[in-house]
Amino acid sequence: MVATGRRSIPVGCRGGGCGICKISVISGHYIAAKMSRACISEEEERNGTVLACRITPVTDLSIRVIGKLARCLSR
């Protein structure tokens, strides 16, 4: 977020159903809530791809924005 000058991740529905806040967590620890399998597969979740609206960071996170969110932040 520092690199983009933003303080937070844009979110859509805030309930894990739209997938707009899909990110890849590169490093750090978080607690994940239930996510829609229409947006995130079990394999993606195991590999650190999550919905930002459905995780709570426990430590600082390094993330990579992907999907719809990447297009939103590049404007």
- For the chain, helix, strand, coil in percent to 5 are 20, 25, 55
Q: What is the residue-averaged pLDDT of the chain?
A: 83
Query: How far is it, in rounded angstroms, from Cα 46 to Cα 51?
Result: 13
Specify whether the CB–CB gap between 32 and 50 falls below 8 A: yes
3 state SS of 27 = strand
Q: Examine the pLDDT at 1 and tell me if it is beyond 50.
A: no
CB atoms within 10 A of CB 56: 8
Specify whether the CB–CB gap between 73 and 3 falls below 8 A: no
Would you state the structure tokens that stand for residue 6, as one six-digit string?
Answer: 């933003």
- Kindly report, residue by residue over 43-68, the tens digit of the pLDDT: 999 999 999 989 999 999 999 988 77
- Tell me which fold the domain 1-75 belongs to: Ubiquitin-like (UB roll) (3.10.20)
pTM attached to this predicted model: 0.77
